[in-house]
Structure formats: structure tokens, C-alpha cells
A and B are shown apart, each in its own frame.
Chain A
Amino acid sequence: MAQLPFKAARDGAIAALIAGLLALPLVGFRLVDQSGGEGLANRWPQLVAMIILVFVGRLALSLISGGAVRSVLFFMAAFAIGSLIIPWPSQFLEVVAVGGAALIAMRAAFLLLGSRPFGSMSGAVGLAGRYAPWAMIAFAALLPLLPFANRGVLDTGVMILTYVLLGWGLNIVTGLAGLLDLGYAAFFAIGAYTAAILGSTYGFSFWACLPLAAAFASAAGLLLGFPVLRLRGDYFAIVTLGFGEIIRIVANNWRSLTNGSQGIAGAPRPSFFGIADFTASPAPGHTAFNALFGIPYNPIHRIIFLYYLVLGAALLVNGFTLRIRRLPIGRAWEALREDEIAAQALGIDRRRVKLTAFAIGAAWGGVGGAFFAARQGFVSPESFGFMESVAVTAIVVLGGMGSQLGVVFAAVLYVGLSELFRPLEEYRMLVFGIAMIAIMRFRPRGLISTRRPTATLL
């Protein structure tokens, strides 16, 4: 036991040495433009800070595996708090210091509690699973009334809910039917463009656009699905990936319809169920929302209304999925995910059943797109890149394939992390990637991996 600190310090020193050697050329020097061409600048503070971090991290991990869990917990907790106060050479290093120390402290804490990190929470999750959904719905419903709910919070809320809606839509395709769709943004784009074009060019209202967006996206899903659904697994994923790109490129180049990369402004804003508009000065023959209720005009009314609309739509999708999962078609989706051959031998028409999943998932994607267009008021191809598809797929997979609650957690995490780390700019994706790796490491089947049976015998 007396040798433990020495051994841990040696481990730390070796790790720090290796890190230092690697980082010296990568971090230590930097090319800068000078008057006489290019020159080298050094970044010793960053380098030293990095080596110290590696040393401390390795030391702590060695101490944990040596048994000194309690002291590591206190030390790392103190280190995390201290790192917040100490000025670090760069913000990125500060995040690494605080986050890393917090992770190690959490690991120590879990060891002290006698459980592996995130490993055996299923009992607690099962209990929380019963009440958490209702608590979350209540929170979501009350959010606009809370004092801190300013415009930014509500906008983020609408964004999270849109991702939840998309995640729940894709959950039918990927989570239940087991079809890895990497081009879901295509249906999202078709819905958004349908709403924007019908609204701005043909003067359709939002409420007319909404079902049409779903119908167009669903039709696109059927068209794509017919030839493609005979492909399996990876091949299917690749073709959907291509389809996602095709839709974006078409939107970029079909100028006469989509106005190319400049996008379409004037996507329809939702009116108050066709009764009143959210403007200070309504068009002749229209009523203003504030006049209808006799309250002073406030632009936030529109955002609150949109928030509730998306919340309602998302809950509708959720209710639909929970219901259809218990029907023969829903069970057939899951059976196909589990074993296509066996399902076919039981009389399930693989293509037709997959096609329904694909078309329904696409329709919900279209609804999400119409809401996206309504929120932005503006639609352009760059909103529907590959990263959007990846984000939605990641939300479904990280949330736990087929788990509705998991989608919510993952969507909050995704939007939350990218908003929280916005100051980090390009390092934002790095944080997101690390979070994904952490989830895959500690919960390989997603945040929530319990599956609720669709029928039970007493």
C-alpha cells in the first residue's frame, strides 16, 4: 500500500511524457503569418497545461485502480471546482479539465456506491420510467409559463421538441422496423419545402400545408421504398444516405421551384387555428391574437403558440407509436427487426410491412419539416445536410433503439450540449463526439435499453 502513490506517480509521469512527446509538435508550435513570410510561434502554456492534465488524470485513474477511491473522489472534485477558477490558457483546456475531473470523480463515486458507472441502473430506471414521462410532459407543458422562459429558452425548446418529433418519427423506421435510415433529413426537407412553396407561392395557410407536407413526404417515402426496401442492412443505409444527398442537391439546383441556395422566404406562419393571426397589425378581415384575448401585443405569443403546437404534434406522434406498437403491424415491424426469415415463414410480407413503416416514418418527418419551416419562416438547402440525418439517427440510436423516452433524453442531450458548448465553436462537435463515445462505452444499447412488452399474460 505504501508503494501505491509511487506507482501511480510513475504511471502518471510515463503518460505525461508520452503525451508531451506527441503534443510537442502538434500543440507546442504553430505556424503564423509574419511580415517576412511564415514563422513559428510557440504555445508553451497550452503544452504545459496539457501535460499537467494528462499527468493528473493518469495519476487519479491509477490511484482508483489501486484502491484509493475516496481520496481520489475528493481530490478530483476539488480539482474540477478549482479548474473553474484558475485561468486556463484556452477555453478548450478548461472544458477538458473540468469535464475530465468530473468524470473521474463520478467514476470514483460510483465505485464507492458499489456499482459500476451507469451499469446497473435498470432498477432505478424501471421505477423512474413509470413517472418520468408524466413529469416531463408536465414540465414541457408548463415551461412557457415559467419566469426564465424568455425567447431564447423557448426557441431552444421548440428546437428540442422538433428533434424529439423527428426522433419519434424515425424511431418507427429504425427503432421498431430496424431499418437504418441515414437520409431521414430528406423527408424533413420535403416537408419543409412543401410547406414553404405551397405557402409562399400558392398562398396556402400553415394548417393546409401541414397535412400536405406529411402526404408529400410519405409519397416520397413510398417511391424510394419500393425499389430500395429489398436491400438489407448496410446496403439500405447507403442508399438512404444517397437519397438524403439527392434531395438536398435537387433543392439546391432546381432554381425555378426552390430558388436554389438562396432559399425560400415567407414560409407560412401558423395562425391561431385559423381564427386569429400573431401580428400587431393584421390584414383586413383578419383578427389579431392579442385583440382576440384583449391583451397587449407581444411577439413572444407566436413562439409560445408554436412551442405548444410542436409539443402537441410530438405527443400525437408518441401516442400513435405507442398505440401501433401493440397492433399486429407494430409487432410485425419488431419481428422483422429481430429476424426477417422467421417473420416471412410466419406469413409476414416483408416488403409491404417495411413499406408501411417507411411511409409512416416519412410522413412524421414531413410534419417535422413543416414545423421547421414555420419556426424559421425561411427554408434553404443547407438546413438539410447530412449532419441533420446523422443527428436524428444518433438521437434514436443513442436514446436506445425503440425507446420513446430514450429519444427525449438523447434529443435534450444533443441540442443541450450543442447550445451549452456554443462558445467552443468548432470544438463543439468534438464534445458531441466524446459524449457519443461515452454513451456507447457505458450504455452500448442506448440510454434506455429496456423494452416494454406489447402484450402480457397475467
Chain B
Amino acid sequence: MTALLSIKDLTMRFGGLVAIDSVSFDVRPEAITALIGPNGAGKTTLFNCVTGFYRPRSGSIRLDCSGRLTELSGQPGHCIAQLGIARTFQNIRLFANMTVLENLLVAQHAELMRASAFSIAGILGLPSYRRAEKKALDKARYWLDRVGLLSRANEPAQFLSYGQQRRLEIARAICSGPRLLCLDEPAAGLNSRETIELASLVRAVSQELGLAVLLIEHDMSLVMEISDHIVVLDYGRKIAEGSPASIRGDKAVIAAYLGEPDGEAA
């Protein structure tokens, strides 16, 4: 199977610290790939390299853009986002004073910007722009309904509860129309019921849109339940890769991260 995103020999250094040490793996299309490992293993750093917030020292990150491989490393973040990689953040980053709906409209910026033709069609209120805006509103409405926030659409995002903010951030990433969705610890701070709901949401969205998901998560039950493929990092190195079943039994992973079966690692 051809990879949607292929990472080869990626290395990232901060001064003397090697945060990522020649890591290679593929993210397959229409599948959920989980990235696990202890704190400080370099998971979020790898995310930041993929999404253009860091410039990796060496190695390549290639995205399959309809058959053509595009090098991502070194490109500015907004270009990478426009190529179809959306992300959420470990510490939620919403537009706090803007309404829930507006958060989802900002996510559709590139598309609406094209429709507004340098804001000229927008200022004049031409029908082409109004159609595009209506479409964007419908899309936002659909996803708000899916994450159960439709009734809160007109409230500032900061008024939402923590779990709702997590869901809104995911909906916002989806609204930007990505092909690869990167979720950085989406279940952090959620209770068990919310975690279960989140798992089914991610699974359903991935199937519905044919979306590839790259997921960082510490909640092992969630990871094992929804992942198709798992990559394990430790001290910046990849120590294992494979299906959930094979990772669960992997000696190196147990030693570094999961711990003995009776101890509650997650």
C-alpha cells in the first residue's frame, strides 16, 4: 500500500539534545496511526516537524499529493496546512473570544478567501461569495451536530467545558478539509465516558471521510481500540512499529513504556 505521508530518517536537534533521532515510518491513507511513547520521547516534536512548526535538521517528510510526492520539511506551516494536514494541540488552542461557529469558519479560511476574490467579491456581496459562505456555514453546522455542539454554536468558545473544547478543536481541524488529521493527545483530561465517545468519533470520521489520522495518545485502551498501526518512540528513537496486537506483546515496548501487564501503565 502506498503511504500518504512518509517520514525518512527524520532528525531534530535542540542544541545538544537530539529530540528525534533518524526516525522513519509511513502513515497509510484511510487508517489510524498511533504514535506512543513515554513523556519526552519526541512525539510532539515529530508532530511539530510534520506540521511545519519546526524545521527538521535532516531527513525528509513527503506527502502524497495525488500521486506526486511533495517535500514538507522546510515549508512554512500555513503552506503545509493548505496541502491538507490539520492538527490539534496538546494544550487546546481555540480562538477563545470568537464563537464556536466562527472557529469553524476560520478553519475554512483558504476556501472562503478564494471565493471572496481578495475580499472584493466579499465586500460587494456577489452571489458567488454568498454561495461559498452558505456552503461553509452548512459544513460548520454539520460538524457541530456531529460533535454535539450545535446548540452552543453562537457562544464564545471559551464558555465551553474542557471536553467540549477538545471536540470543537477536532471539528475545527476537520473543517479545514484535511487529508491527514494529526491529533495531539485528544483524550487528555477527558473522563472515561468522554474518551469512549471520542474514540468512536475519530473512528467514524476517519471512515466517513477516508481520512488518515496520526494520533499521539497516552490512553492505551483508546490507542489499542482504534489504531490500525502503532509507532513507538523512546528517547527520540523508533523502538517498535506494528499492529496493536504485536505492540502489546513487544518486549522492548513493555520495558520502555507499557510496563508489566498487571501494572496500570496507562
Q: Are A331 and B119 in contact (CB under 8 A)?
A: no
Q: Are A338 and B97 in contact (CB under 8 A)?
A: yes
Which residue of B86, B101, B172 is within 8 Å of A456 (Cβ)? Answer: B101
Q: State whether the Cβ of B123 lies closer than 8 Å to any Cβ in chain A.
A: yes
A contact residues, total (Cβ < 8 Å): 28
B contact residues around A346 at 8 Å (CB): 81, 86, 106-107, 109, 172-173, 176
Q: State whether the Cβ of B95 lies closer than 8 Å to any Cβ in chain A.
A: yes
A contact residues around B96 at 8 Å (CB): 338-339
- Interface hit among B110-118, B193-201, B231-239: B110-118
B contact residues, total (Cβ < 8 Å): 43
A contact residues around B172 at 8 Å (CB): 346
Q: Are A455 and B110 in contact (CB under 8 A)?
A: no
Q: Are A349 and B106 in contact (CB under 8 A)?
A: no
Q: State whether the Cβ of A181 lies closer than 8 Å to any Cβ in chain B.
A: no
Q: State whether the Cβ of A147 lies closer than 8 Å to any Cβ in chain B.
A: no
Q: How far apart are B92's CB and chain A's nearest CB, in angstroms? A: 9
Q: State whether the Cβ of B23 lies closer than 8 Å to any Cβ in chain A.
A: no
A contact residues around B147 at 8 Å (CB): none
A contact residues around B18 at 8 Å (CB): none
Which residue of B82, B93, B119 is within 8 Å of A347 (Cβ)? Answer: B82
The answer for the CA separation of A334 and B24 in the assembled complex, in Å, is: 38
Q: State whether the Cβ of A295 lies closer than 8 Å to any Cβ in chain B.
A: no
The answer for the CA separation of A202 and B172 in the assembled complex, in Å, is: 54
- Interface hit among A21-29, A100-108, A219-227, A322-330: A322-330
Q: State whether the Cβ of B244 lies closer than 8 Å to any Cβ in chain A.
A: no
Q: State whether the Cβ of A439 lies closer than 8 Å to any Cβ in chain B.
A: no
B contact residues around A347 at 8 Å (CB): 78, 81-82, 109-110, 176
The answer for the CA separation of A338 and B97 in the assembled complex, in Å, is: 7
Residue of A nearest to B96 (CB): A338
The answer for the CA separation of A38 and B144 in the assembled complex, in Å, is: 78
Q: Are B119 and A324 in contact (CB under 8 A)?
A: yes
Residue of B nearest to A452 (CB): B99
Q: State whether the Cβ of A453 lies closer than 8 Å to any Cβ in chain B.
A: yes
- Using A329-B116, A332-B109 as known contacts, say yes or no to A456 and B93 having CB atoms under 8 A apart: no
Give the tally of cross-chain contacts (CB within 8 A).
116
The answer for the CA separation of A355 and B19 in the assembled complex, in Å, is: 34
- Using A328-B113, A345-B77, A346-B176 as known contacts, say yes or no to A457 and B97 having CB atoms under 8 A apart: no
Q: How far apart are B115's CB and chain A's nearest CB, in angstroms? A: 8
B contact residues around A332 at 8 Å (CB): 106, 109, 113
Q: State whether the Cβ of A436 lies closer than 8 Å to any Cβ in chain B.
A: no
The answer for the CA separation of A453 and B102 in the assembled complex, in Å, is: 8
Q: Are A329 and B106 in contact (CB under 8 A)?
A: no
Q: State whether the Cβ of B137 lies closer than 8 Å to any Cβ in chain A.
A: yes
Q: State whether the Cβ of B240 lies closer than 8 Å to any Cβ in chain A.
A: no
Q: Are B101 and A342 in contact (CB under 8 A)?
A: no
Q: How far apart are A168's CB and chain B's nearest CB, in angstroms? A: 16
Which residue of A339, A341, A454 is within 8 Å of B53 (Cβ)? Answer: A341
User: 5 shortest A-B CB distances, which residue pairs?
Assistant: A347-B81, A338-B95, A328-B112, A342-B93, A327-B122
Residues of chain A at the chain B interface (Cβ within 8 Å): 320, 323-324, 327-329, 331-332, 334-335, 338-339, 341-350, 451, 453-457
A335-B98, A342-B94 known; 4 new pairs, CB 8 Å cut-off, are A331-B106, A342-B93, A456-B101, A457-B141
Residues of chain B at the chain A interface (Cβ within 8 Å): 51, 53, 76-78, 81-82, 86-87, 89, 93-99, 101-102, 105-110, 112-113, 116, 119, 122-123, 133, 137, 140-141, 144, 150, 153-154, 156, 172-173, 176
